[in-house]
Amino acid sequence: MNKFLSVMALLPALSMGQNFQPASASDFPVIGTVPGVFPDTGIADNFCRRDKGKCEAAGNQYKCGVFFLNLPNQKFPIRMLSNMPDVLSRPAVANSEEIRETFGEFKNVKPKSFRFSQSSLGERCQQDRIYNARCSVIMDKVSNTPLDSCTKTIFNDQGRDTIGNILCKHAFSFAGILDPSYRIKIGYHYSLCKSEWTPIISDLNTGAQKEHFEDLCCNYVGGAPTFQRCDGTPTVTTCPQ
């Protein structure tokens, strides 16, 4: 079966009045393109629109990012979902003790924590291993949170829907309808002093790259993108309101 199905397949469900709610800006702390019912076909050359570039770190900064790694038919091999510290500009994230707990020992970080003083730039910008490790710690709990969880994270700062459902809306916005068996990989990267986004190495001995512990598979229940586990095991589909 073709892994990338026509978006037109969704039109009958919409015309019959089924209650599909498109992704809204409030669902996503940082997003690589404008969310909507249909995928954006006019994606800018830069996969992140919040900055002039690809949202890499500034020359005096490091960043930790989360990406879709393998969406089909994309101009870029990765698509940004969120990044630290940009997401801390949202009060719902910055002021949430629950979300901050997911940052581990760095739960008290502030945007300025990701910047370096002018006098230390020469040293800090050469310390890739240190900031690889720091981003690995910051993203560790997030990367091990089940996708059918309602836990508040940088993915769902309101906790109104499961992480997987929100990410499936993201995937639909970027790529249209995918076959439910298509396994979407979620990866974690870092950028240091204007460097390109680089996969976080979670195990320096094996060179293993940091990815979410489970893949994302999306079905379309009632015409809405909905998370389902790729192995078919049951999932939580709604969150307490």
> Does 240 map to a domain?
no
CB 162 within 8 A of CB 93: no
> Does 103 map to a domain?
yes
Q: Virtual CA dihedral for 193, 199, 203, 208, nearest 10 degrees?
A: -160
> Does 241 map to a domain?
no
Quick one: tokens of 73?
Answer: 């038919």
pLDDT for the residue 41: 25
Annotate the chain with DSSP letters as a single string: --SB--GGGGHHHHHTT-------GGG-SS-SS---SS--SS--SSS-SSSSSSS---TTBEEEEEEE---SS-SSS-EEEEEETGGGGSHHHHT-HHHHHTTGGGTT--GGGGB--GGGHHHHTT-HHHHHHHHHHHTHHHHTS-TT-----SS-TT-SS-HHHHHHHHHHHHH--B-TT--B-EEEEEEETTPPPEE-EEETTTTEEPB-SS-BEEEEETTEEEEE-TT----------
Please list the pLDDT of the chain residue by residue as tens digits (241 residues). Answer: 443 333 323 323 322 233 333 333 333 333 333 332 223 322 233 456 544 467 899 999 999 999 999 998 887 778 889 899 999 988 999 999 999 999 999 999 999 999 999 999 889 999 999 999 999 999 999 999 999 999 999 988 888 999 999 999 989 988 888 899 999 999 999 999 999 999 999 998 999 999 999 999 999 888 889 999 999 999 999 998 7
pLDDT for the residue 2: 40
> Does 31 map to a domain?
yes
pLDDT for the residue 53: 60
> Does 234 map to a domain?
no
Q: Are strands 208-209 and 201-203 parallel, antiparallel or unpaired?
A: antiparallel
Is the pTM of the predicted complex or chain greater than 0.75?
yes
pLDDT for the residue 220: 87
Query: Structurally, how many domains does the chain consist of?
Result: 1
pLDDT for the residue 27: 36
Of 12, 71, 36, 35, nearest in space to 223 by CA: 12
Range of the domain at 65: 7-228
62: Cα separation from own chain's centroid: 17
> Does 2 map to a domain?
no
> Does 42 map to a domain?
yes
pLDDT for the residue 34: 30
> Does 158 map to a domain?
yes
Cα gap 160→138, rounded to integer Å: 23
